[in-house]
């Protein structure tokens, strides 16, 4: 577009780049109604607005069409104007496995960057809103071949997989541009894709990995190539920058976390959540970080669930921080600690003071600028919990003298009650 191009509105010439900037701001604010109204002004406005209106589309076939009118409108428009599919950058596709529906709509897209594939059941029971993973092998051949065609036609950067059993892991080797992989309740299978791909298989180099190390722990092992002696890695983690993991009822979770940290040379952000003893940092973090990762790791986040007064509130992360003291570039440390109100929890000020001791070591964390500790007591009513909240606030006021005195560190402490 010429920098001098303009649109005449009445007797005024409005530069087209100004119009596009206005529409971009409306899109940033997610003001769909304003974008839809603007699209009615003229054909030029409609073209600009549609780029933002249809930038993100969600097809959820587990719900009736009236709950997702934008998807229905998009399909009607795409039948008349197929080129409108090129505006879509973010696509969510939620399918009911036992459906006999044709999935040819996936073949329309060629510019999608972020893609979510999830399987669901029709009308899930209120007693079981989270159905078990649905088997890929029960899906229609139309869906399987259309998905393969979709993968071939789009340069996917982010892939979110949810609630899928027996997903063909070889499909990952046909997404060379993939940088983010998020899996939730997914299992992988060695089955070949029902489609002949053009080009060689390429192991994607991930920058971000998001996984639940509960049900998905065998899947992560499979990705790392540790499922069997013959298996090879399905992803390249050497340049992994962000690792987000949730542990649940898996004693081997810390082993996998350590394996992933050893595989990368440039981790920048590490976020872990879970409860003791599955999530126990002692001896698993510092020893897994390479010298190069110690010079890139800037943020650590830990979200423990404390079910006993005996559990270390930081799940022994303070011991790992002491191990890397003086040889790190950490800038931010965040703790988001949950305590169930039905547990008899008595805070031990000495345990909570460990963080202050670890982070107050001379020249231990020269670049540290932000430390935040949030304690949330989960309960069914506010009554009867004032005493423990008061004790937590006393710890916040008196248990971190070094952090409070450190002028270069922004230390934030908060204790709160949240209703279930």
Name beta bridge partners: 304: 274
For 320, half-sphere exposure in the C-beta direction (CA atoms, 13 angstrom radius) is: 20
The count of structural domains within the chain is: 2
Shared-domain flag, residues 183 and 87: yes
Query: pLDDT grade, residue 382 (50/70/90)?
Result: low
Shared-domain flag, residues 95 and 114: yes
Q: What is the mean pLDDT of the chain?
A: 85
Shared-domain flag, residues 35 and 71: no
Shared-domain flag, residues 40 and 87: no
Query: Residue 20: inside a domain, yes or no?
Result: yes
Shared-domain flag, residues 46 and 63: no
Q: In sequence order, which residues have a C-beta less than 8 Å from that of residue 189 and are 6 or more positions away? A: 136, 166, 167, 168, 169
Query: Residue 414: inside a domain, yes or no?
Result: no
Shared-domain flag, residues 95 and 49: no
Name beta bridge partners: 6: 15
Query: pLDDT grade, residue 400 (50/70/90)?
Result: very high
Query: Residue 158: inside a domain, yes or no?
Result: yes
Shared-domain flag, residues 41 and 134: no
Shared-domain flag, residues 88 and 65: yes
Shared-domain flag, residues 152 and 15: no
d(CA 378, CA 382): 9
Query: Residue 145: inside a domain, yes or no?
Result: yes
Query: Residue 112: inside a domain, yes or no?
Result: yes
Position with higher pLDDT, 46 vs 198: 198
Shared-domain flag, residues 74 and 168: yes
pLDDT of residue 241 exceeding 80, the answer is yes
pLDDT of residue 54 exceeding 90, the answer is no
Which of 117, 77, 118, 121 shows the shortest CA–CA distance to 96? 121
Query: Residue 420: inside a domain, yes or no?
Result: no
pLDDT of residue 29 exceeding 80, the answer is no
Domain with 190 in it: 55-204
Q: pLDDT tens digits, residue range 120-167?
A: 876 655 555 577 899 999 999 999 999 999 999 999 999 999 999 999
Model pLDDT, residue 308: 79
Position with higher pLDDT, 416 vs 248: 416
Model pLDDT, residue 115: 98
Q: What is the 3-state secondary structure (H, E, C) of 251-314?
A: CCHHHHHHHHHHHCCCCCEEEEEEECCCCCCCCCCHHHCCHHHHCCCCEEEEEEECCCCCCCCC
pLDDT cut 90: percent of the chain above it? 54
Shared-domain flag, residues 45 and 143: no
Shared-domain flag, residues 80 and 189: yes
Query: Residue 35: inside a domain, yes or no?
Result: yes
């Amino acid at each position: 577009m010429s920098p001098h191009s303009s649109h005449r509105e009445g007797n005024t010439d409005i530069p087209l780049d100004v119009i596009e900037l206005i529409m971009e701001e409306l899109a940033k604010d997610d003001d769909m109604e304003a974008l839809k109204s603007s699209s009615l002004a003229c054909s030029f406005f409609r073209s600009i607005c549609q780029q933002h209106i249809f930038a993100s589309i969600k097809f959820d076939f587990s719900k009736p069409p009236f709950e997702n009118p934008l998807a229905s409108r998009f399909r009607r428009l795409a039948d008349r104007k197929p080129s409108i599919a090129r505006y879509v950058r973010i696509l969510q596709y939620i399918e009911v496995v036992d459906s006999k529906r044709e999935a040819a709509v996936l073949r329309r897209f060629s510019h999608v960057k972020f893609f979510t594939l999830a399987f669901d059941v029709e009308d899930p029971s209120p007693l079981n809103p989270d159905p078990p993973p649905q088997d890929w092998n029960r899906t229609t051949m139309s869906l399987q071949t259309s998905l393969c065609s979709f993968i071939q036609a789009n340069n996917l950067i982010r892939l979110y997989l949810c609630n899928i059993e027996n997903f063909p892991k070889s499909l990952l080797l046909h997404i060379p541009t993939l940088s983010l992989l998020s899996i939730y309740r997914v299992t992988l299978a060695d089955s070949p894709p029902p489609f002949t791909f053009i080009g060689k298989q390429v192991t994607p180099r991930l920058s971000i990995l998001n996984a639940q190390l509960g049900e998905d722990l065998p899947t992560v092992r499979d990705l790392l190539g540790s499922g069997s002696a013959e298996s090879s890695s399905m992803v390249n983690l050497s340049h992994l920058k962000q690792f987000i993991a949730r542990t649940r009822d898996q004693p081997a979770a810390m082993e996998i976390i350590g394996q992933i940290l050893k595989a990368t040379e440039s981790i920048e952000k590490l976020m872990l959540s879970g409860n003791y003893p599955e999530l126990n940092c002692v001896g698993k973090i510092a020893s897994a970080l390479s010298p190069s990762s110690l010079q890139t790791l800037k943020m650590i986040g830990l979200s423990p669930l404390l079910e006993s007064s005996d559990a270390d509130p930081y799940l022994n992360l303070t011991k790992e921080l002491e191990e890397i003291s003086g040889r790190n570039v950490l800038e931010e440390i965040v703790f988001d600690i949950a305590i169930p109100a039905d547990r008899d929890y008595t805070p031990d000020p000495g345990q909570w003071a460990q963080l202050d001791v670890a982070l107050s070591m001379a020249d231990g964390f020269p670049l540290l600028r932000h430390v935040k500790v949030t304690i949330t007591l989960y309960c069914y009513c506010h009554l009867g919990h004032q005493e423990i909240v008061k004790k937590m606030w006393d710890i916040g006021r008196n248990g971190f003298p070094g952090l409070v005195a450190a002028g270069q560190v922004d230390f934030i402490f908060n204790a709160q009650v949240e209703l279930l």
